[in-house]
Structure 1
Amino acid sequence: MTDRPTATRRLPAVTTLTATAIVVADMIGVGVFTSLGFQARDVTSGFALVLLWVVGGGVALCGALCYAELATMFPRSGGEYNFLSHMYGPAVGFMAGWLSATVGFAAPVALAAMAFGRYAEAVLPGAPALPLGLVLIWIVTAIHMRGLRHSSVFQVAFTLLKLALIVVFIGVGFARGGGQPISFAPSAFDLTQIVSAGFAVSLVFVMYAYSGWNAATYIVGELRDPNRSLPRALLAGTGAVVVLYVALNAVFLYTTPLTELAGQVEVGLIAGRHVFGEAGGRLIGILICAGLIPTISAMMWIGPRVTVAMGEDVEPLQVFTRRSHTGVPTAAILLQCGVASLLLLTQSFEAVLEFVQFGLIACSFLTVLGLIKLRITRPDLPRPCRTWGYPFPPLVFLAVTLFMMVYLVAVRPFQSLAGLLLMLAGLVLYAVATVQRRHGA
């Protein structure tokens, strides 16, 4: 184990377009097609509901601005593992990497794969959800094992398909929908909605739907000209998703009675029937299934890069640094594929996600807090990309993230405690490895 992260050897370059596609694909999952139902139970104003997605998008952009500065300061793949190792020491970095490398990406992959199987039933009634999810994980894994060129083509093609389907749905929805008694113009009533507890809680669901805006930082070491590509990928990808999310939820509200959406999970299917008639459910099923393919691909791409970065620094994990002749980290990809498949088979991924959620949010909080720390303690460090509007973006992000952690502790105390224990387990493992290394020396 080394005290400082080592530089990643130069790999075939990933373009800005591919990095942007990874950000977009990682962000747009099933969350945007389900979250509105939970929000509509407590918030009934069209303006306030759309404002939720605008505010959530603003917070995501604040996070992207902060991460852009950090990733260009420390241009090494690994995301929070890399950042926190520089900010607080290798032990804290190992803790974040432990979360990501074990279940932080594998559990969302399993969840997306199961969602793919469930929505496939709307397209092909009677289709076996579990086998379909497993096959999808294995096919995506096989593509990523072939090399960066195949991964890039696959990622960009399916992300563009996802975007095209969503844009078509939005366009047809606005063209054929309407007639609902809801207004997107602000009114005096909206102020009470915006300052309500329901609005604050709904923002938590919105932020979950926006998660993934930091995806490109996990592969920054593979980017072509990271000082330019990374900020462009983060901001362009996140900005595009903000526009799509706001428009998509406006279409849901424009085409479907609010009473039908409130409390419902299958918001996309319900709105699809209002836009396309009885065939709407099948069309939305196709849209979501096609959209989940690049989502799984993005996570299968970036997750193993954390394991590789850890393997370069921690001797017992060096096996996961092995690459093929095309530069693919085969061992790390197979590890994540195996863990995701196991979670899918045991059907325990939702519980794992609940346990790990608090830890992942805490790592993002510590990362952005570290940006402020470095501005104060290390103003001399080169910063190829500085956070626009500093210090407001980090302060906004920290405030919302802190609220989310408090909310999780209040609503899910057992899961939050388990997530905290999982973080502590990472610190314990690092301490044990450090002791063994010293004894070996």
Structure 2
Amino acid sequence: MTATDAALTGGAPDVHRRTVLTGTATAIAVADMIGIGVFTSLGFQLMSLPSGFAVLMLWIVGGAAALCGALSYAELATAFPRSGGEYNFLSRIYHPMLGFMAGWVSATVGFAAPVALAAMAFGEYFAGAVPEAPPLVCGLAVAWAVTLVQLSGSQPSVIFQNAATAIKVALILVFIIAGFSVGEPQPISFLPKEGDLGYLMSAPFAVSLVFVMYSYSGWNAATYIAGDVHDPARTLPRAMFWATLVVIALYVLLNAVFLYTTPMSAMAGQLNVAQVAGEHIFGATGGRIVAGLICVGLVSAISAMMWIGPRVTVAMGEDFALLRPFARYTRSGVPATAILLQISVVTLLLLTQSFEAVLDFIQFSLTLCSFLAVAGVIVLRVTQPHLSRPYKVWAFPLTPVVFLAVTGFMMAYLLFEKPWQSLASLALMASGLALFALSKRDEART
């Protein structure tokens, strides 16, 4: 079977063994979801939603939407069990041109920019825990250290990812338990009070939901490595379901402990709400404790994105001669060239400090790609009713429709609030279409 034949049948060539089990696939998704967002967004939510009930409902509603997306992707991933995420799905559902467009966004900056942001955040928080540490050097060091682990082989990567994620979840649980145990309770209720239901129908609630959904981004992480997963028909749905449930529970409990231990007035409008809460719970050393907690969390997030991002490039390289060098695996089952490409882009973004601008303009395209993928679940039920589906999404069509409604609102918000960045995002997608056309023309000549 050639690489092209494999693409048309929905599977990749057996260039390496399927070694990722349910635990590791779950760990990758959990690690990818829990980044910096949950530790920073509460302060801005409290400025317009001064209600414990409304804030927790925000994270529950956002989590439910993420779960709807995860279950929808699970149907696609088990029907087309190949690495690549949206590149794989959109190619099969609509046209290889759309798949290439989505893959181009992911392979260039879709993962590199979030990795750079996480690495820079690691440097800043590490400097908070260890004064005088240079943030940029620390950011570069952690990004390259994680990359070296990825390059060392599939088994060390599995061990490192599982351990880093387990430590992160354990530390968050310790923080939550300590907060409820020793923190000074605030006069706040998590049950609905008069006027609270009105917040759920307000514009600030809808706007805050956009940023909550970004904090949940990563629920689809396991689909990017579907080609690495053992028994994907069973593993992928379980991993995506449990990963999303774990993160929903952690996010709701984290925000509850922030509100339980710290006055709203002290957190409203603050970016570093976790640090503020840590100081209220643990005293003067609380800030350093929280900084260390966030650093550990960012290491596992960087590791997850450095693992899954290159697999998109690999899938594209298997299908297109222009990108063929990036499809090569080492004897230890590592796509070294693709990994080195991503860390090179990460390094460039860190050195130029341009990753925040890149993140701003790729948000629309990433959201649009996930929207098209979930819409594809409905499209395939109509166009290919007899397609083999080892897993079918629950409560169809309600589940994908819920996700489409939320992401549709997000795209409308981005177009209204950030029109130029959204247009630039569309321009990046257009450049992918142009490269697709160029690649096809070159193939036709050979």
Q: State the TM bucket, normalised to the shorter chain.
A: over 0.9
**SS state at 1:188 partner:** coil
What is aligned with 2:175?
A: 169
Q: Is the 8 A contact 1:5 1:85 kept in 2?
A: no
2:262 to 249, 256, 262: 256
1:96 to 96, 102, 124: 102
Q: Does 1:142 align with 2:148?
A: yes
Q: 1-side partners of 2:30 and 2:179: how far apart?
A: 22
Structure 2 residue identity aligned to 1:246? V
Structure 2 residue identity aligned to 1:42? S
- What is the identity percentage for the equivalent residue pairs of Structure 1 and Structure 2? 60
Q: 2-side partners of 1:297 and 1:267: how far apart?
A: 25
Q: Is the 8 A contact 1:103 1:352 kept in 2?
A: yes
Q: Does 1:64 align with 2:65?
A: no
- Give the drift of 1:192: 1.4
1:151 to 146, 157, 160: 157
1:8 to 9, 12, 16: 12
What is aligned with 2:338?
A: 332
**SS state at 1:5 partner:** helix
1:297 to 279, 300, 303: 303
Q: Is the 8 A contact 2:184 2:281 kept in 1?
A: no
Structure 1 unaligned segments of length 5 or more: list them.
none
CA deviation map 1:40-96 (0-9, x unaligned): 111011100000000000001000100000000000000000000001110000000
- Give the drift of 1:3: 8.8
What is aligned with 2:214?
A: 208
What is aligned with 2:116?
A: 110
Q: 2-side partners of 1:304 and 1:163: how far apart?
A: 25
What is aligned with 1:46?
A: 52
- Give the drift of 1:436: 2.3
Q: Does 1:401 align with 2:407?
A: yes
Q: 1-side partners of 2:408 and 2:90: how far apart?
A: 18
CA deviation map 1:119-162 (0-9, x unaligned): 01111111100011111111111111111100000000010000
- Give the drift of 1:188: 2.8
- Give the drift of 1:299: 0.3
Q: Does 1:30 align with 2:32?
A: no
Within a 5 Å distance, the mapping from 1:249-398 to structure 2 comes to 249-398=255-404
**More divergent stretch after superposition (250-259 vs 1-10):** 1-10
**SS state at 1:218 partner:** helix
Q: Is the 8 A contact 1:216 1:233 kept in 2?
A: yes
Q: 1-side partners of 2:74 and 2:184: how far apart?
A: 40
Q: 1-side partners of 2:443 and 2:279: how far apart?
A: 61
- Give the drift of 1:425: 1.1
Structure 2 residue identity aligned to 1:260? A
- Give the drift of 1:2: 4.8
Q: 1-side partners of 2:230 and 2:443: how far apart?
A: 36
Structure 1 residue identity aligned to 2:185? G
- Give the drift of 1:251: 0.4
Structure 1 residue identity aligned to 2:427? L
Structure 2 unaligned segments of length 5 or more: list them.
none
Distance 1:3 1:409, change over 3 A: farther
Q: 2-side partners of 1:295 and 1:181: how far apart?
A: 34
What is aligned with 1:179?
A: 185
TM, length-normalised to structure 1 = 0.98
Q: 1-side partners of 2:136 and 2:178: how far apart?
A: 32
Structure 2 residue identity aligned to 1:151? S
CA deviation map 1:339-376 (0-9, x unaligned): 00110010000000001110000000000011100011
Q: 1-side partners of 2:138 and 2:183: how far apart?
A: 33
Q: 1-side partners of 2:185 and 2:140: how far apart?
A: 42
**SS state at 1:328 partner:** coil
Q: 2-side partners of 1:347 and 1:378: how far apart?
A: 46
Within a 5 Å distance, the mapping from 1:124-135 to structure 2 comes to 124-135=130-141
Q: 2-side partners of 1:383 and 1:397: how far apart?
A: 20
Q: 2-side partners of 1:318 and 1:259: how far apart?
A: 55
Aligned pair count reads: 440
CA deviation map 1:175-220 (0-9, x unaligned): 1124312110112311211111000000011001000000000011
What is aligned with 1:430?
A: 436
**SS state at 1:187 partner:** coil
Q: Is the 8 A contact 1:26 1:299 kept in 2?
A: yes
Q: 1-side partners of 2:91 and 2:208: how far apart?
A: 33
Q: 2-side partners of 1:2 and 1:434: how far apart?
A: 13
Structure 2 residue identity aligned to 1:129? P
Q: 2-side partners of 1:395 and 1:343: how far apart?
A: 36
Q: Is the 8 A contact 2:6 2:13 kept in 1?
A: no
Structure 2 residue identity aligned to 1:267? V
- Give the drift of 1:434: 1.4
Aligned-pair Cα RMSD in Å: 1.1
What is aligned with 2:233?
A: 227
Q: 2-side partners of 1:51 and 1:214: how far apart?
A: 22
Q: Is the 8 A contact 1:48 1:193 kept in 2?
A: yes
